[in-house]
């Protein structure tokens, strides 16, 4: 198959398959190679549909879980140079094998139980429930709020579920070195811990701005034996550098993706290993109240914790799936990470999804007080959920997230990550619209001790002191 060279900084670094030339927008390894192809965005600039009802689905068929080749409708795919194709195919083959391999699954299940600390509790937030009951008086008792306590996992977030499993795959593929990119540092810490456990060399790329904000996690990564490499910019830039490094060392190095973006099969792999969150939630809900949750709520950056909770319930039409993006300083400020509210369709880091981009197709810099949400795109499956109407997406500002952070800390004695605080913040708008007795599960995807420096640097709100 013919291909054409791409000149990057004067050097022929990458090759793009000719079959992808129909795209006038292509970014491989974070490098813009041509003017972006833009598609008219059918979304309004509102932060989401009406809260009063579940949105009408745009496809009446059974909801698709993907076509088996990493495509969700028009989203996903592999937009990569030929040099990566064979490695991605090898990765997909190995992933499909371990999904059904008893020995691998037994080792992973044991590690998740004894090392990670699974299963994590589905915790009834009694005082938070009472708080909203006082705001919205009801006769029958109001909405019950439960927290899926991923913050109690080893390393303090959901990230370890995927990092440990992929590190095991890396070892099976004969790769002695792992590279990863991290924003808030949670994926970096989880990857460093998994590599330490499995005796793998670990290199983590991290944006200079994020290193300054997340010094605690940087020290943790180094303590766990990882090399932390500073990259000018934020998470999106660190991701580009990690992928470049992987391309340069394909047969000794494993790229351990922490979120549901990138070329197939990376998003599917992350989603599969995070789906333990939703599987546990279904089982625990059955035990606690004999049914399913009415509403699932999760923050959305690029989508790993949201899909981890949502995926198990995709086929349950009576369960609402609610994602909350970062509105930053406000949707009109231009400083936000609300990709699904304002994004257009394009290709970035190897797959098609919604992206934050300007009129010239250049990727915009995202903003959120929760640095783990600062990514200019979302995963293909999340994009598909938006387009089909299976999930609803809304936004919460920095200030709303901080207030929710403080509220949970004071009412429940739980300090949530600022990322998860966006999901908690949306309860203010969600709860008044729900029927009495509704069961809401919020994914508390990480703990917030990492964010205390950020709040101190911003100046603690007077209500905090």
What was the pLDDT predicted at 460? 66
At 333 the three-state DSSP class reads coil
pLDDT tier at 456, thresholds 50, 70, 90: confident
Question: For a pLDDT cut of 70, what percent of the chain falls above it?
Answer: 84
- Structure-token pair, residue 136: 């919205």
What was the pLDDT predicted at 318? 97
Q: What share of the chain is helix, strand, coil (3-state, %, to 5)?
A: 45, 20, 35
Instruction: Give the residue-averaged pLDDT of 229-251.
Output: 95
Residue 54: pLDDT above 50?
Answer: no
What was the pLDDT predicted at 67? 73
What is the value of pTM for the model shown? 0.87
What was the pLDDT predicted at 138? 64
Instruction: Give the residue-averaged pLDDT of 346-358.
Output: 96
Q: How far is CA 135 from CA 127, 239, 432, in A?
A: 13, 43, 8
In this predicted model, which residue has the larger pLDDT, 237 or 9?
237
User: Minimal CA–CA distance to 301: which of 115, 445, 170, 176?
Assistant: 445
- Asked if 33 contacts 16 with a C-beta cutoff of 8 angstroms, the reply is yes
Q: Which residues pair with 307 in a beta bridge?
A: none
pLDDT tier at 458, thresholds 50, 70, 90: confident
H or E element: which one contains 427? helix 427-430
Q: What is the rounded CA–CA span in Å between residue 333 and residue 307?
A: 28
Residue 21: pLDDT above 70?
Answer: no
Question: For a pLDDT cut of 90, what percent of the chain falls above it?
Answer: 79
pLDDT tier at 58, thresholds 50, 70, 90: very low
What was the pLDDT predicted at 140? 66
Residue 23: pLDDT above 50?
Answer: no
Tell me the angle at which helices 159-172 and 266-274 cross, rounded to the nearest 10 degrees: 120
At 63 the three-state DSSP class reads coil
Backbone angles phi, psi at 221, to 5 degrees: -60, -45
- Asked if 322 contacts 310 with a C-beta cutoff of 8 angstroms, the reply is no
pLDDT tens-digit series, residues 166-196: 999 999 999 999 999 999 999 999 999 999 9
What was the pLDDT predicted at 457? 83
**What is the DSSP secondary structure assignment for residue 347, as one 8-state letter?**
E
The CA-based angle 131-132-137, given to 5 degrees, is 110
Instruction: Give the residue-averaged pLDDT of 129-138.
Output: 86
Cα-Cα-Cα-Cα dihedral sign, residues 405, 411, 412, 413: positive
pLDDT tier at 50, thresholds 50, 70, 90: low
Q: What is the rounded CA–CA span in Å between residue 453 and residue 406?
A: 14
User: Minimal CA–CA distance to 446: which of 429, 463, 428, 421?
Assistant: 421
């Amino acid at each position: 198959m013919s291909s054409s060279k791409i000149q990057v900084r004067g050097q022929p670094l990458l090759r793009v398959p000719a079959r992808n030339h129909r795209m006038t927008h292509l970014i491989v390894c974070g490098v813009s190679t041509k003017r972006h192809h833009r598609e008219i965005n059918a979304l309004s600039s509102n932060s989401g549909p009406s809260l009063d009802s579940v949105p009408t689905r745009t496809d009446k068929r059974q909801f698709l879980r993907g076509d088996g080749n990493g495509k969700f409708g028009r989203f996903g795919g592999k937009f990569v140079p030929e040099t990566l194709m064979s490695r991605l195919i090898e990765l997909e083959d190995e992933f499909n094998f371990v999904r059904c391999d008893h020995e691998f699954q037994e080792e992973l299940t044991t590690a998740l139980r004894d090392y990670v600390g699974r299963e994590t509790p589905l915790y009834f937030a009694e005082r938070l429930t009472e708080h909203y009951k006082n705001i919205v008086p009801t006769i029958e008792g109001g909405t019950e709020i439960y927290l899926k306590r991923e913050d109690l996992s080893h390393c303090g977030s959901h990230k370890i579920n995927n990092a440990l499993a992929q590190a095991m795959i890396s070892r099976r593929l004969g790769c002695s070195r792992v590279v990863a990119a991290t924003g808030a540092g949670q994926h970096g810490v989880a990857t460093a811990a998994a590599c330490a456990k499995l005796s793998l060399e670990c290199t983590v790329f991290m944006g200079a701005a994020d290193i300054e904000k997340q010094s605690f996690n940087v020290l943790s990564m180094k303590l766990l034996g990882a090399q932390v490499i500073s990259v000018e910019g934020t998470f999106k830039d660190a991701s580009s550098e990690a992928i470049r490094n992987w391309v340069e060392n394909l047969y000794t190095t494993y790229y351990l993706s922490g979120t549901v973006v990138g070329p197939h099969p990376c998003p599917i792999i992350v989603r599969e290993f995070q789906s333990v969150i939703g599987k546990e939630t279904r089982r625990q809900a059955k035990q606690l109240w004999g049914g399913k949750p009415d509403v699932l709520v999760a923050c959305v950056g690029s989508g790993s914790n949201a899909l981890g909770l949502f995926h198990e319930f995709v086929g349950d039409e009576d369960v609402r799936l609610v994602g909350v993006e970062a509105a930053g300083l406000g949707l009109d400020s231009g400083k936000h990470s609300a990709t699904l509210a304002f994004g257009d369709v394009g290709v970035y880091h190897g797959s098609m999804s919604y992206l934050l981009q300007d009129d010239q197709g250049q990727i915009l810099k995202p903003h959120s007080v929760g640095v783990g949400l600062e990514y200019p795109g979302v995963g293909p499956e999340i994009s598909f959920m938006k387009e089909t109407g299976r999930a609803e997406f809304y936004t919460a500002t920095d200030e709303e997230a901080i207030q929710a952070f403080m509220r949970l800390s004071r009412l429940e004695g739980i300090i949530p990550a600022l990322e998860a605080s966006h999901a908690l913040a949306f309860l203010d708008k969600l709860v008044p619209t729900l029927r009495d007795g509704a069961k809401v599960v919020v994914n508390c995807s990480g703990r917030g001790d990492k964010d205390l420096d950020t709040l101190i640097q911003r100046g603690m709100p007077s209500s905090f002191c």
